Amino acid sequence: MSSPLSNSRTPEVDIDPMFTDRWSPRSFAPEPLSEEELQSLFEAARWAPSCYNEQPWLFVYAVSEGDRQRFATALVEQNRLWASRAPVLLFVVARLAFARNGKANRHAIFDAGAAWMSLALQARKRGLYAHAMAGFSVERAHEVLAVPRQGYEIMAAVALGRRDDPALLPATVAAIEAPNSRRPLVDVAFAGRFPAD
């Protein structure tokens, strides 16, 4: 049985603070990112590990006002309320087959997740924040991004930028603007065997 979530961002074991410092705010300043800042995030993601070094991740991003508005049309309304202010919107895409032989790569989604986390941690190192979202229309995202429907999975939408004053958010969104908690470590790692229900 799971234990209750902790209300603290204090780790149970000593870790690098970059892990607890990373969280997903909704209040973004519209101030543009420099090209160097943006490319440093993709460079960090590029070095993520992957099965057979396949590197199946792709990032499709928007920085111009027109492109960001177009990308935002794929988001559910609750996310569009705040994410449309971010200076960068992007989607994380996984290529589902190995390039070398065309066989299905069942690790592609796992590997794309590793690349996303690398991007998110690099964002914090640069004083930026990345908020990944599952709340988007996959069908609309395929249309907006021109991602082929066969062979690719659009995994997540991401808002990127610097934090802004949460008071600028709609009241319903501002009410939940805080770092969240984590399950206790005893509910995460198990020695020897999978836990009984």
CATH number at residue 137: 3.40.109.10
> Residue 65 has what pLDDT?
98
Q: DSSP string spanning 38-70? A: HHHHHHHHHT---GGG---EEEEEE-SHHHHHH
130 burial (CB, 10 Å; 0-12 / 13-18 / 19+) is buried
Q: Which residues contact 69 (CB under 8 A, 6 or more apart)?
A: 84
The residue ranges of DSSP E strands in 2-121, in sequence order, are 57-62, 88-95
The range of the structural domain enclosing residue 102 comes to: 24-175
Q: Do the domain assignments include residue 136?
A: yes
**Is 37 within the bounds of a domain?**
yes
Residue 119 lies in a domain: yes
In this prediction, residue 1 carries a pLDDT of: 43
Domain-located, residue 10: no
**Is 44 a domain residue?**
yes
What is the pLDDT at residue 127? 98
Quick check: 120 and 170 in contact, CB under 8 A? no
Say if 70 falls within a structural domain.
yes
Q: pLDDT tens for residues 35-68? A: 999 999 999 999 999 999 999 999 999 999 999 9
User: How many domains does the chain contain in total?
Assistant: 1
Mean pLDDT by 10 residues, the chain (197 residues): 62 95 96 98 99 98 98 98 97 98 98 99 98 99 98 99 95 92 94 91
Return the percentage of the chain with pLDDT > 70, whole number.
96
Task: Please report whether residue 134 resides in a domain.
Answer: yes
Tokens of 123: 């964002």
- Summarize pLDDT for 19-30 with one digit per residue, the tens: 999 999 999 999
> Is 129 contained in some domain?
yes
